[in-house]
Structure 1
Amino acid sequence: MSDLPLCRAGDSLPLARYRFTLQAEAPLHLPAYPGSMLRGSLGHGLRAVSCITRQKSCDGCPLLSACQYPALFQPRPTPAMATRFPDIPAPYVLEVPLGTPTTLAPGDRFKFEMVLFGPALPQLGTLILAWQRAAWQGLGKGQARATLSQVEWEQAPGQWQIVYTPETGSVLPHRARVVLPDLPPDKGSVTLNLATPTRLQHHGQLCNSSQLTAAIVLRALERKVSLYAHCYLGALPATPAADSLDMATLETNTHLYQWQRYSNRQQQRMSMDGLVGSLTLQGPLASWLPWLWLGQYTHLGKNTSFGLGRYRLPSSTLHYQDLPTTTGERQHE
């Protein structure tokens, strides 16, 4: 049982999606899936613009509690939260589409997205500075320089508004929240289109397509959304119906996407294989719809900070609600 308040249709939640556009200033060679590379570059950029002491490690730093680098990149749970969530996620999720070009000529651009949660929202300016620093220090094989040409905010699904360019020099005012839409009262089938490799585990083991069940998918979704809700959102959808897991079924149409990342911490290459394709849930899913909708922001499964586990719900499946233009939406602070 959660001690968080319930979020309902019309409630405003502290999260937002942004799209960053980088322009290559020299021939740029990216990995086949650049999510891990971008996360590492963000960490270096954040440390460069945030750290005052220039210590090699954050441990023992007298300014640790006031520094944005650990707050945004390596957050630590509060004492009250540590017993329940000893490891908390960073307040962002990278979103890097499969098929991002691996070779860019000078002047070419590529885009990626970030979902920001709770305390990361007012630090958008810091993140922009970090990306500018990271891009100028060099990206990809050969550390080729790039520049940040613009940042856009997703004001409604698929609708983007420019909130920063180097010419503006500052972030333009915008409402950095999303509104939980008015979802259909009943839906017997929901398809999750897996946009990036998705790594789902059961009893500590990575599942292949034939091993997945509706219960495994929905329980993983519940854990992920609950984690971000407790750490950053301050509200949670109502607990799904107790019998829905037993009655739900799953159809899979997926294949394994294979890729590896190099871990500087462990000094070795690590497999990050995951499923892409589609998962179709069937059954009494009405109580799961708010969870499924929020999961599009939190992602699903393991290693989501690299951008893994992103899925989309077809627009025909759920009704999307634009952000209201009045101040009438309910907010959970």
Structure 2
Amino acid sequence: MNDLPLCRPGDTLPLARYRFTLQAEAPLHLPAYPGSMLRGSLGHGLRSVSCITRQNTCEGCPLLEACQYPALFQPRPSTELAARFPEVPAPYVIEVPLGTPTTLAPGERFHFEMVLFGPAQAQLGTLILAWQRAAWHGLGKGRARATLTAVEWERTPDDWLTVFTPDTGSVTPHRARLALPEIPAETSTVTLQLDTPTRLQYHGKLCNSWQLTASIVLRTLERKVALYAHCYLGALPAAPKDASLESIRLDASTRLYQWQRYSSRQQQRMAMDGLVGTLTLHGQLAHWLPWLWLGQYTHLGKNTSFGLGRYRLHQS
């Protein structure tokens, strides 16, 4: 799977996480999990700031190849990638913590995060303008107006630098690349804290916790990380060794989180149930550790673009 250059500890990747803070200007009512709503709002905002022709659809648009809307929101595989990846992910992942308040009074704030991959990093200014437009157009039930008050860049875990406020009006220059850390190879136990519903499938069907195995979790992770690497990162850690899977054991302590999203494209509500809780892996993990670390940014499983499958990695 890995025909890309190898990345090693200390090497940097075109990958960064940003935190966006919004302030409600009117009573704001959000869904229980607002990731899908935010992704839809971003799409409208991007189209507002990017589309020149104002066609109803992108099909047949003479400016399609130069437009940032499809490049950021509905990317198409290059000729080189098309045979291997018929569909490519958007170059971002929206992250919204479970427990985000569903009702905000005017003046109250909430935040969400975005992981930007490769070319999306150069379009941070476009994304900021799109979020400003989306928030002012209205969010949530009733389309309540909101204001983008700050954008912060995660320099290192839990160390945030403000790179944009409405007062500055422009993005502060910063070198947003992420260094692959040195991970102790002797680590034999890691825990994945599933922070948002995680949809893992096997043979096309959603897995319950008692159906999960280490192989299902790690192979799903491998495919997800490799997909983003080939599309946007340009490098990968050394391929994990198949033999190591035989020695790895999985302990799952999860519950099913049930929620639905409304698809405007399909004009219907869709079940997006997923697992939350912990997945603990024991065994020969040395070859998998860099992949597990990168998976904190790509997320794990299905429907990750609007935040599903986010986990935090804890080493023992």
How would you bin the TM-score normalised by the shorter chain?
A: over 0.9
Residues 1:64 and 2:71 are matched in the alignment:
no
Amino acid at match of 1:269: R
Q: Secondary structure at the match of 2:42?
A: helix
Superposed CA deviations along residues 152-183 of structure 1, whole A, max 9, x for unmatched, are 00000011000000001000011111000011
State the match for 1:278 in structure 2: 278
State the match for 2:2 in structure 1: 2
State the match for 2:266 in structure 1: 266
State the match for 2:305 in structure 1: 305
Unmatched 5+ residue regions in structure 2? Answer: none
Question: What is the TM-score when the length of structure 2 is the normalising length?
Answer: 0.99
How far, CA to CA, are the matches of 1:80 and 1:11 in structure 2? 25
Superposed CA deviations along residues 195-247 of structure 1, whole A, max 9, x for unmatched, are 00000000001000000000000000000000000000000110112211111
Name the count of aligned residue pairs.
316
How far, CA to CA, are the matches of 2:190 and 2:72 in structure 1? 33
Q: Secondary structure at the match of 1:2?
A: coil
How far, CA to CA, are the matches of 2:2 and 2:216 in structure 1? 20
State the match for 2:184 in structure 1: 184
Deviation of the 1:250 alpha carbon: 0.3
Structure 2 counterparts to residues 15-164 of structure 1, below 5 A: 15-164=15-164
How far, CA to CA, are the matches of 1:186 and 1:233 in structure 2? 27
Q: Calculate the aligned-residue CA RMSD, in Å.
A: 0.7
Structure 2 counterparts to residues 139-288 of structure 1, below 5 A: 139-288=139-288
Q: Secondary structure at the match of 2:99?
A: coil
Deviation of the 1:34 alpha carbon: 0.2
Q: Secondary structure at the match of 1:167?
A: coil
Deviation of the 1:185 alpha carbon: 1.7
Superposed CA deviations along residues 239-287 of structure 1, whole A, max 9, x for unmatched, are 1122111111100111110000001111110000000000000110011
Superposed CA deviations along residues 289-325 of structure 1, whole A, max 9, x for unmatched, are 00000000000000001100000012xx28xxxxxxx
How far, CA to CA, are the matches of 2:94 and 2:209 in structure 1? 24
Q: Secondary structure at the match of 1:304?
A: coil
Q: Secondary structure at the match of 1:287?
A: coil
Q: Secondary structure at the match of 2:172?
A: coil
Amino acid at match of 1:57: T
Q: Secondary structure at the match of 1:253?
A: strand
Q: Percent identity?
A: 78
Deviation of the 1:54 alpha carbon: 0.2
Amino acid at match of 2:163: V
Contact kept, 8 Å, 2:2 with 2:238, in 1: the verdict is no
Deviation of the 1:2 alpha carbon: 2.4
Amino acid at match of 1:161: L
How far, CA to CA, are the matches of 2:185 and 2:74 in structure 1? 39
Amino acid at match of 1:216: I
Unmatched 5+ residue regions in structure 1? Answer: 319-333
Q: Secondary structure at the match of 1:313?
A: strand
